C-alpha cells in the first residue's frame, strides 16, 4: 500500500476517514459531482496534455477539507438550501439561470465548459471531534482552472458575490499536488 511505502519517510499527522453514500450525495444531502466530465472528457480535463510537454500525462491534484456547520444547515428550509446550491435537493435538477441566485454554489463553482475538473469528493464524519464535512478532491490539467473556481467561490464573481455555501462550510485545509505520469517517474529514476 501507499502507507507501507511512505511509512519510512513520512509520519501521518491527520487521518480523515471518508465514505460514500450509495446515491452519490454529499453529507449536506445534495447529489455531488453532477457536472463531472464523463468518458473521454475525464482525461481531457484531468490530465496535462501536449500544451505543457514537460508535465504531459501528469495531473494537478487539489484537496481541501471543508467542515460544515450541520446544525445551521439543517435549520435552513430545503427551499433555501436549494438556493444555496442552485439545484433541487430531491431530484438533482439545476435551477434555470434566470431563477438561480448568482451566489449559488453551482453558479460559482462551475467556471465554464472549457474549464472543468474531475471531482472525487468524499463526505466525512469524525464522531470524536463531531466534525462533519466534505473532503473536496479534484484533478485538473492546469491549476488555473482550480484557481478560477476558488476565486469565484471565496472572492466572488463579481467581487463580494461569494459562494453562499461558505456561510455553512469552513475550508480548514487546502493542498496542491502534482501527480506525475509513469513515464515521468521513469525519467526521474534515470537521473
- Other C-beta atoms closer than 10 Å to the C-beta of 67 total 19
32 tagged catalytic:
yes
Query: Annotated catalytic residue: which of 4, 32, 167, 186?
Result: 32
User: From CA 3, how far away is CA 13, in angstroms rounded?
Assistant: 13
User: From CA 94, how far away is CA 55, in angstroms rounded?
Assistant: 35
Residues with a catalytic annotation lie at: 32
Amino acid at each position: 500500500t501507499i502507507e507501507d511505502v511512505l511509512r519510512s519517510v513520512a509520519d501521518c499527522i491527520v487521518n480523515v476517514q471518508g465514505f460514500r453514500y450509495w446515491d452519490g450525495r454529499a453529507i449536506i444531502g445534495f447529489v455531488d459531482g453532477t457536472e463531472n466530465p464523463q468518458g473521454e472528457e475525464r482525461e481531457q480535463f484531468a490530465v496535462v496534455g501536449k500544451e505543457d510537454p514537460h508535465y504531459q500525462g501528469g495531473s494537478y491534484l487539489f484537496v481541501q477539507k471543508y467542515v460544515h456547520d450541520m446544525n445551521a444547515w439543517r435549520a435552513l428550509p430545503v427551499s433555501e438550501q436549494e438556493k444555496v446550491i442552485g439545484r433541487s435537493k430531491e431530484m438533482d435538477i439545476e435551477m434555470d439561470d434566470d431563477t438561480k441566485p448568482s451566489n449559488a454554489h453551482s453558479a460559482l463553482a462551475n467556471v465554464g465548459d472549457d474549464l472543468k475538473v474531475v471531482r472525487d469528493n468524499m463526505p466525512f464524519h469524525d464522531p470524536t471531534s463531531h466534525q462533519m464535512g466534505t473532503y473536496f478532491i479534484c484533478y485538473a490539467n492546469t491549476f488555473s482552472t482550480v484557481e478560477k473556481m476558488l476565486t469565484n467561490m471565496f472572492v466572488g464573481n463579481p467581487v463580494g458575490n461569494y459562494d453562499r455555501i461558505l456561510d455553512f462550510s469552513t475550508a480548514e485545509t487546502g493542498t496542491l499536488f502534482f501527480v506525475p505520469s509513469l513515464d515521468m517517474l521513469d525519467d526521474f529514476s534515470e537521473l
